[in-house]
């Protein structure tokens, strides 16, 4: 990312698509934080465990008017929960 720019990612989830509308976006520990280290592999907040649908939101910001953050790709890896 260019200096002075940031990308924050949060997720929300539910058992079906209808549950997403009422769900709160959260970061690693709460709604007030976000995943910010790009290029890392994260385990999602355990609040999502067992949910079948997931949605993400990105917040792109800059403190440098001549710079813009950009995201070319986002990848998800799924590992089924063992019961």
Give the model's pLDDT for residue 48: 85
Report pTM.
0.82
Compute the mean pLDDT over every residue in the chain, rounded to the nearest whole number.
Answer: 88
Give the model's pLDDT for residue 50: 84
Q: Each residue of 53-77: b (16+ CB within 10 Å) or e? A: eeeeeeeeeeeeeeeebeeeeeeee
pLDDT tops 70 at residue 81:
no
Give the model's pLDDT for residue 45: 85
In this predicted model, what pLDDT tens digit does every residue of 23-45 receive, in sequence order? Answer: 999 999 899 999 998 888 888 88
Percent of the chain predicted with pLDDT > 90: 53
């Amino acid at each position: 990312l260019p200096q002075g720019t940031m990308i924050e990612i949060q997720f929300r989830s539910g058992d079906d698509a209808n549950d997403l509308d009422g769900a709160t976006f959260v970061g690693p520990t709460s709604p007030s934080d976000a995943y910010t280290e790009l290029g890392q592999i994260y385990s999602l907040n355990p609040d999502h465990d067992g949910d079948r649908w997931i949605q993400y939101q990105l917040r792109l910001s800059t403190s440098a008017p001549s710079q813009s953050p950009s995201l070319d790709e986002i990848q998800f890896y799924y590992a089924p929960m063992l019961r």
